[in-house]
Amino acid sequence: MIFSLFGKRKQMKRGPLLKVDLHSHLIPGIDDGSRNREESLSLLKGMKALGYEKVITTPHIMSDAYRNTPEIIIEGLQALRKASKEEGIEMEIEAAAEYYLDDGFYDLLHKGEILSIGGKYLLFETSYISKPIQLEEMIFEISSAGYTPLMAHPERYRYIKDPLGEFKRFKELGVLFQVNLNSFGGHYGKGAKNHADLLSKEGMIDFLGSDVHHKKQIDTLSEVFLSEAYRTIFENNTIRNDELI
């Protein structure tokens, strides 16, 4: 009923349906994601066509680039919900944030100005190239504040040189992993794909995210959902997305 864009034969090959996406950039004009209302609505329609019933969109918060606040994000969320309703898109839309671990993050955490996922998970990212010197301390601070640390796209961090050992260390620290679906299709390069495949094989993936910024990523998602790599994820991992429905 929602897979007409794939064709009947391909429908039968698709792996388990995800109802909830918890990582995207759909609020227009506040980060490097959607640029305007029309693009946001197009992306929402694309997510709907892929079978999603709910999106938890997560704008960047970075002290030196995207100085979003809960107020800015909630205002954008309300406008997006209104536009979506007017367009007749039947989809639940919520918002949290993707926090960059920088000095400004400490201030937000200590002030309690956090938009978490489901009131529980704090989605965070780091530099792709350089591992933060105090990364373990920051993870401890997140846990101490009462949140479950959820690392966005761990497969994409190029500073990870001993993937199995370093990923296991993060798990020991209580970190959950949200892997980008498009990593399995090579969208972010060979290195990210290899790490995503490793995480899947080792049963370390907790959540799957679209990390949608633009339409090209919707198109790539439709291919990933039909791949063997996607079906294999559910054989080795307990995917928690639909707990957020």
pLDDT tens, residue by residue, 101-130: 998 999 999 999 999 999 999 999 999 999
DSSP 66: B
pTM over 0.75: yes
DSSP E strands in 50-146: the ranges are: 54-57, 60-61, 92-95, 98-100, 121-125
CATH fold of 17-244 reads: TIM Barrel (3.20.20)
**pLDDT grade for 15, boundaries at 50, 70 and 90:** confident
CB 32 within 8 A of CB 204: no
Where in the chain are the domains? 17-244
Contacts of 160 (CB under 8 A, 6+ apart): 131, 154, 166, 167, 195
Full strand arrangement of the beta sheet holding 20-21: 20-21, 54-57, 92-95
Say whether pLDDT at 4 is over 70: no
Token representation of residue 208 = 């799957």
